[in-house]
Amino acid sequence: MVRPSTSPGTSVPFDDDARQTARNAADKHRRPALARTIADRRLGAYRGYSELLDAIERLGERGARLKQIGNSVKGEPLFCVYIGSEAPKARTSVVLAGVHPIEWIGIETCVHLLERLAGEDLGDRAVIAFPMVNPDGLMRVEENLRAGGRRFIRHNAHGVDLNRNFDAHWGERGWFQRLLPWIFAPGKAAASEPEVASIGFELSERRIDRAISLHSFGGAVLYPPAHTVWPIPDYAEHRAWAKVIARGACKNAYTALPCSWWSWGTTQSGLELDWFHVRHGAVSLLIECEGGPSFSFSRLTTPFAWFNPLELSRVSAQVASAALPFIRGDSLEHAAT
């Protein structure tokens, strides 16, 4: 595994450099606004890679600290955002987004969540967010959209499904995962991919007690396990949080279920959902933001439209609001009222 050059748990000394690196990457990939390019296809007002980099870099103006944690397979900088306590041993909430690059709504929701968190007093809690886990995949999705294509893109530049590459029961693949190895490609070894290894290294010395990964399009809040159907020991706490967030995320209430139950008993290994729980002991949730109803032939035949709702502002604001109490460290009793 190639180790990123910076040390885990340190952030401030890298701040200015990281913001400049983000600005450089945004300039390098600068294109006309994505929303304008795809407007006539009714795909929503989604921002492109460089626009999202701008938004993440601007979090620095609100007190967030940006850190480069490594580079993707194709050399794109990988960033995380620190908000709240700077103490290395602070209790820590983690947010991941963009693990699957076509699930753009998760990134928009993550940025929205961070913009709100950056203005809050988090006391002795730290929040560490990885808003664009898979930049190479994102650029492929964007390229395809701009070219008018309809491709389904899930992997990093090595063809690996990053959400099967985490070091949690990696190798214990269920039958469904074995049946479709080109979709759920787990990589050569656990954390073989730089995007996943960088996250693992950055978090290796943190006290993580809460974690959320943002995906789409199932309209669900999932909790461990993914690798087995047998309930986890701290099932009740996970279920309670999942229900609170599910209720808050949408007036039509998202489903709250163990991941393997939600997928009809099919088990999967190497998920971040299990990794945060097994390796860090965190309450770990995976939010499947809702996708969009597909009213038109164009939307029905465009995978981006399946994963990303037209009502970007509403969904990102509602899911961010629902997740906010969990991430900022509120008690379950407080959040439930």
Residues in Cβ contact with 53 at an 8 Å cutoff, skipping those fewer than 6 apart: 22, 23, 25, 26, 29, 132
The residues in 237-296 that bind Zn ion, with binding defined as CB under 5 A, are none
The distance of closest approach from Cβ of residue 143 to Zn ion in the complex, given in angstroms and rounded to an integer, is: 20
Amino acid at residue number 40: D
What totals of helices (H) and strands (E) does the chain contain, helices first? 14, 7
The distance of closest approach from Cβ of residue 205 to Zn ion in the complex, given in angstroms and rounded to an integer, is: 27
* Contact region with Zn ion (CB under 5 A), list: 76-84, 97-105, 247-255, 329-337: 97-105
CA distances from 294 to 45, 129, 330 (A): 16, 31, 36
Question: By Cβ distance, which residue is nearest to Zn ion?
Answer: 215
The distance of closest approach from Cβ of residue 307 to Zn ion in the complex, given in angstroms and rounded to an integer, is: 8
Of 22 and 221, CB closest to Zn ion: 221
Of 215 and 227, CB closest to Zn ion: 215
Say if residues 288 and 105 touch (Cβ distance below 8 Å): no
Cα Rg for the chain, rounded, in angstroms?
Answer: 18
Residues facing residue 127 across a β-bridge: 83, 93
100 lies in the site for Zn ion, by CB under 5 A: yes
The distance of closest approach from Cβ of residue 90 to Zn ion in the complex, given in angstroms and rounded to an integer, is: 29
Of 102 and 320, CB closest to Zn ion: 102
The residues in 204-243 that bind Zn ion, with binding defined as CB under 5 A, are 215
Q: How far is CA 172 from the centre of its chain?
A: 23
The distance of closest approach from Cβ of residue 18 to Zn ion in the complex, given in angstroms and rounded to an integer, is: 26
Say if residues 136 and 78 touch (Cβ distance below 8 Å): no
The distance of closest approach from Cβ of residue 63 to Zn ion in the complex, given in angstroms and rounded to an integer, is: 30
19 lies in the site for Zn ion, by CB under 5 A: no
Amino acid at residue number 103: E
Q: How far is CA 151 from the centre of its chain?
A: 21
Cα 57–Cα 288–Cα 267 angle in degrees, nearest 5: 120
Amino acid at residue number 244: V
DSSP type of residue 89: T
* Contact region with Zn ion (CB under 5 A), list: 96-104, 196-204, 233-241, 257-265: 96-104
The distance of closest approach from Cβ of residue 233 to Zn ion in the complex, given in angstroms and rounded to an integer, is: 26
What SS3 class is residue 216? strand
Conformational region of residue 270, where left means phi above 0, alpha means psi within -120 to 50, and beta covers everything else: left
The distance of closest approach from Cβ of residue 279 to Zn ion in the complex, given in angstroms and rounded to an integer, is: 20
* Contact region with Zn ion (CB under 5 A), list: 100-108, 240-248, 256-264, 304-312: 100-108
Site of tokens 């943002």: 214
Instruction: State the number of binding residues for Zn ion (CB under 5 A).
Output: 3
164 lies in the site for Zn ion, by CB under 5 A: no
Residues in Cβ contact with 330 at an 8 Å cutoff, skipping those fewer than 6 apart: none
The burial class, CB within 10 Å (0-12 / 13-18 / 19+), for 332 is: middle
Of 100 and 112, CB closest to Zn ion: 100
* Contact region with Zn ion (CB under 5 A), list: 4-12, 101-109, 182-190, 218-226: 101-109
DSSP type of residue 61: G
Residues facing residue 81 across a β-bridge: 66, 129
The distance of closest approach from Cβ of residue 17 to Zn ion in the complex, given in angstroms and rounded to an integer, is: 31
* Contact region with Zn ion (CB under 5 A), list: 83-91, 98-106, 179-187, 227-235: 98-106
* Contact region with Zn ion (CB under 5 A), list: 102-110, 118-126, 230-238, 258-266: 102-110
Site of tokens 């789409």: 216
The residues in 103-122 that bind Zn ion, with binding defined as CB under 5 A, are 103
Using CB under 5 A as the criterion, which residues of the chain lie in contact with Zn ion when the complex forms? 100, 103, 215
